[in-house]
Amino acid sequence: MPSIKQAIKTSDNTYEVNDAVVDIVNAPNDCDWSRWGMLDDRRSTRMYCFKQGTIDQLYQFIFDGTSYQFEENFTLTISGVGDDQNLKKIAMLSTPNFEEAVGVKDKELVGVEYETIEDAPLLPIPQNYHVYIQAADDQQFLYQFIWKEGSRNFKPNGITRDWFKLKDFPSDTDWDRWTMTYDSNHYQLSLPAYVYYAFKKDSNDEIYFGRYGARGDEEYEDDGTIKTYDVYSYNPEDQPIDVPGDQYYGQAKCGNIKIIGLANDFEVTDLSIVFDGIDTFMYLLTDKSE
């Protein structure tokens, strides 16, 4: 079994490791923990890993308040994967489908705008789960697969398209240790809410990140107009102009993250980042013996 540490986002550029215990219960012997991901749909935090020896089968674990319980007799299938994809690693996230007020109460507003949790508004529940996989011949090219509620398949799909590119990340980016998240309660077309993260090579506590919606280099035609595809960029000059009133006004669109409080002997081999509607958590996995 892997060992996993949890850290919480304390600023745009820092995550602090806490004492939370991440227990995984009843995991099958054929779990492939080198290929895993996590997401939160406001009802529960979910953990996934590949079934060993497969290229398209995912096991699911659901957090019950104390541990991640394996969901028996249930697997998800990623349709359309093949030789074009690098299946050594995946990233996952969830997005709200509509601006619907259903599900979990927004505890962040209690004591600020509302007196009790009963008075607080409901957070939207994401209806789409996303899987991202690198291209086999280009680790800065990402394929997107989307699962929609009511099915057991992730399909090649995109709100706009089923692939994305990364731009201007440092030369020492560790493309084998990366993840993604969506950190907004707004509708899924809130482009800067999609975030790409990757470790700095040979580092256990420094991560590069870039938000989506930056200006790319590749052009396409849309109703006679030439446009450029949006990308995830580490270059601040590519990022959209900071507009007052925007939900990300004043926030960093790219930069470096520092992890605080991680033990020196904990060698991070993979990570996932999860937004639960209020807080953002980082999960750091090692498959090395402690």
- Alpha-carbon span 86 to 94, nearest angstrom: 21
Contact by Cβ (8 Å): 284, 266:
yes
- Alpha-carbon span 134 to 144, nearest angstrom: 9
User: Using one digit for the tens of pLDDT, what is the confidence trace for 136-176?
Assistant: 999 999 999 998 766 788 888 756 678 999 999 999 999 99
- Alpha-carbon span 34 to 284, nearest angstrom: 12
Q: Which of 252, 229, 257, 220 is nearest to 167 (CA)?
A: 229
DSSP state of 195: E
Residue 125's pLDDT is 62
Contact by Cβ (8 Å): 55, 81:
yes
Within 10 angstroms of residue 272's Cβ, the number of other Cβ atoms is: 25
Q: Which domain holds residue 68?
A: 3-286
Verdict on whether the full-model pTM lies above 0.95? no
User: Using one digit for the tens of pLDDT, what is the confidence trace for 209-246?
Assistant: 999 999 999 888 888 899 888 999 999 999 988 877 77
- Alpha-carbon span 112 to 120, nearest angstrom: 10
Q: Which of 12-26, 105-119, 175-189 has the highest mean pLDDT?
A: 12-26
Q: Which residues pair with 209 in a beta bridge?
A: 197, 255
Q: What total of structural domains would you count in the chain?
A: 1
* CA distance to 166, 171, 207, 210, 222, per residue, from 234 (Å): 8, 11, 11, 5, 26
CA 205 to chain centre: 18
Residue 99's pLDDT is 47
DSSP state of 234: S
Per-residue pLDDT at 8 exceeds 90? yes
Within 10 angstroms of residue 245's Cβ, the number of other Cβ atoms is: 5
Quickly state the pLDDT bin for 249 (edges 50, 70, 90).
confident
Residue 169 sits at φ, ψ, to 5 deg, of -75, 150
Residue 192 sits at φ, ψ, to 5 deg, of -65, -10
Quickly state the pLDDT bin for 106 (edges 50, 70, 90).
low
Strands 270-275, 31-40: pairing is unpaired
How many Cα atoms are found within 13 Å in the side-chain-facing hemisphere of 242? 9
Q: Which residues pair with 32 in a beta bridge?
A: 50
Q: Which residues contact 131 (CB under 8 A, 6 or more apart)?
A: 37, 78, 90, 91, 92, 144, 145, 146, 147, 154
